[in-house]
Amino acid sequence: MNRVILHSDLNNFYASVECLYNPEIRDRPVAVCGSQSTRHGIVLAKNNLAKKFGVKAGDAIWEARSKCPGLVVVRPNYMLYLRFSMLARKIYENYTNLIEAFGIDENWLDVTESTKLFGSGENIADMLRERIRTELGVTASVGVSFNKVFAKLGSDMKKPDATTVISEENYREKVWKLPVGDMIYVGPSTRRKLTNIGIQTIGELAGAPPKFLERHFGQWGRTLWIFANGYDESPVTKLDFQPGIKGIGNSLTTPHDLRTNEDVKILTYVLADSVAERLRRHQLRGRTVQIYIRSSDLSFIERQGQLSQYTCTSSDIAEKALEIFSRSWDWSKTIRTLGIRVTGVVMRDDCAQVSLFDDNRRLRREQLESSIDSIRTRFGHYSVQRGLLIDSRGLNANPVEENVIHPVSFFK
């Protein structure tokens, strides 16, 4: 039996939710944008009225307003979007347990077996759209196909509130004439490289010799050829599948450039706090600390170092990060973005070598920070803060809750 894969994409998701909660802006062009004061001032989502003026995701706010002088700009409310994302997922669960998220507003569903109960994939897609529209007040476009790549292409082909079927019988007619940049993971750089070798449509990519593509793109060239020909066999990940966590990190673009070691120290402890809290939440410890630095001219470096013991405490992580920083940065440039990541993770209850000279300090520090986690859960992140952050110079933040929600990789 051929697979039946759906890809559901909630249309203009952030903007649709904002218009649902603010009726007075529903008939106006709307863009959900990051904060200009924190230098995140770009368009994250826009409604159809704004789209007609040429407003695009990634536009700077000033650029979007120059295209659409009457644009209504609203700040994002990620907790509200997450709530709607989970409500949509509850609807999907009525039809299958094979659900795989691709970001906050997109999901693949394998409904192969469900067709025996609910009819064809197209019927199920129409049911999903109807329920999302009536129960949530937003709309979705759904692609129906025999693999994940073409299902996503289908959801992109017709918006809003539409079902598009790409079958084994019609995919050459529907897919191969599309620009190659419409296919998943063909970004601007890959599209330019493909154009340079004479490939402009998905059909031309499908017809190119795999060896030729491998010479230009390595193994990735064969992967793109597989996608274009409809040979993708990657499964839809089960609902209860939890991929192994290889590392945990956070980064922040600051409201103003970092210019001194004291600025870096403040932000390092902010980031280390968030990374350590997430390690403890997942019952993990890590041993390798990595730092990421992007300078004011947008160049960047990454460096790393190893701790003597596995840890999930912010002090250990911050001290190591500052040590790495001190030997890696000469202040010839100011810093725009700083990131910290901990890798080489193991479960907290795994056996660990105990030092004769540790005097249980590491364990006591873990217990202290776990207690702080409990206080913050009840009274908010800012209820307990380090003395270092009293004069934080606008650098204090909550990276766990305030970061943008990014898509999940197609590859596991």
Q: Is the pLDDT of residue 104 over 60?
A: yes
The pairing of strands 163-165 and 140-145 is parallel
**Residue 356 near residue 279 (C-beta atoms within 8 A):** no
Q: Is 106 a catalytic residue?
A: yes
Average pLDDT, the chain: 88
The pLDDT of residue 377 is: 80
pLDDT grade, residue 177 (50/70/90)?
very high
Q: Is the pLDDT of residue 258 over 60?
A: yes
The pairing of strands 335-343 and 284-295 is antiparallel
Helix (H/G/I), strand (E/B), else coil: 157: helix
Q: Is the pLDDT of residue 349 over 90?
A: no
Q: What is the pLDDT of residues 350-381, one digit of tens each?
A: 655 556 665 567 788 888 888 888 888 888 77
Q: What is the pLDDT of residues 152-165, one digit of tens each?
A: 999 999 999 999 99
The pLDDT of residue 244 is: 66
The pLDDT of residue 393 is: 59
Q: What is the pLDDT of residues 85-99, one digit of tens each?
A: 999 999 999 999 999
Q: What is the pLDDT of residues 198-227, one digit of tens each?
A: 999 999 999 999 999 999 999 999 999 999
Helices 361-379/314-326 angle, 10° precision: 110
The pairing of strands 163-165 and 43-46 is unpaired
In order of 79, 144, 361, 384, 401, the CA distances from 380 in angstroms are 14, 43, 27, 8, 11
The pLDDT of residue 410 is: 64
- Which H or E element spans position 351? none
Q: What is the pLDDT of residues 108-138, one digit of tens each?
A: 999 999 999 999 999 999 999 999 999 999 9
The pLDDT of residue 78 is: 86
The pLDDT of residue 137 is: 95
Residue 12's contacts (CB-CB under 8 Å, 6 or more residues apart) are: 45, 46, 47, 48, 51, 160
The pLDDT of residue 134 is: 96
Q: What is the pLDDT of residues 290-306, one digit of tens each?
A: 999 999 888 889 999 99
CA 354 vs. chain centroid, Å, equals 38
Task: Give the domains, in start order, of the chain with CATH numbers.
Answer: 1-166 (3.30.70.270), 176-228 (1.10.150.20), 247-402 (3.30.1490.100)
Q: What is the mean pLDDT of residues 166-178?
A: 96
The pLDDT of residue 79 is: 86
Q: Is the pLDDT of residue 234 over 90?
A: yes
Decide which of 349 and 182 is more confident: 182
Catalytic residue chosen out of the listed positions 18, 106, 277, 369: 106
The pairing of strands 140-145 and 284-295 is unpaired
The pairing of strands 30-33 and 72-74 is parallel
The pLDDT of residue 354 is: 59
Q: What is the pLDDT of residues 312-326, one digit of tens each?
A: 999 999 999 999 999
The pLDDT of residue 404 is: 47
Q: Is the pLDDT of residue 401 over 60?
A: no
* DSSP code of residue 231: -
Q: Is the pLDDT of residue 249 over 80?
A: yes
The pLDDT of residue 411 is: 59
**Residue 166 near residue 143 (C-beta atoms within 8 A):** yes
- Spatial separation of the C-alpha atoms in residues 290 and 304, rounded to whole Å: 4
The pLDDT of residue 405 is: 52
The pLDDT of residue 40 is: 62
The pLDDT of residue 383 is: 80
Q: Is the pLDDT of residue 50 over 70?
A: yes
The pLDDT of residue 402 is: 52
Written as six digits, the tokens of 376 are 């913050």
